[in-house]
A and B are shown apart, each in its own frame.
Chain A
């Protein structure tokens, strides 16, 4: 059974700070996806990483896939209140429990 562990579980920061959240597994994944979910809504796909060592940027968000394709990270630069939400990593239908991010103005 493939498992994805996300850390930290909760993160509360001030606007303008940088942060990194992690997604780790002991299993190899052919690809990993990152989603953001806001309260009362379904998850929205942010990015897919496929190649080991791959780095993708989406405005202030930087996603990295580990060389061994077992882990991934999401780095947010200069966080804004609009970044608040639940960040989920997934390998296909296997989801981590998410990181709940709160950005205070």
Chain B
């Protein structure tokens, strides 16, 4: 029973390049969340998606960041024209539902993005 998978685990990009982070949710989960974490800080919500729909993107920066969760394939978090301030760990989580008590999320191992 595979857990949430993220790749790559580590990604190095030069300023101005694009970063693509991938997330495959747990089998049977249709809800995906993306978070950003800086060292010794908690997780900051970025976006919540269901298949083919963005449900809540209130935590996404207005520019350069986008996310998708297509009908087939993994969810993608895309960062265009990266800057040094984008360096962080990006975590994906999935859940089967959002009913009462159903906010439990299962996290992947994260992608550590370093912008040089």
Contact = CB atoms under 8 A, between A and B. Distances in A.
A50 B107 contact: no
The main secondary structure of chain B at its interface with chain A is loop
Given A42-B91, A43-B91, A97-B42, A92 B103 contact: yes
B69 interface: no
Interface residues of B, number: 24
Nearest to B98: A92
Interface in B60-97: 91, 93
- The list of the 3 closest CB pairs from A to B, nearest first, reads A42-B107, A97-B42, A92-B103
Interface of A: 6, 30-31, 33, 35, 40-45, 48, 50, 88, 90-98, 100
Interface of B: 4, 33, 35, 40-45, 48, 56, 91, 93, 98, 100-101, 103-110
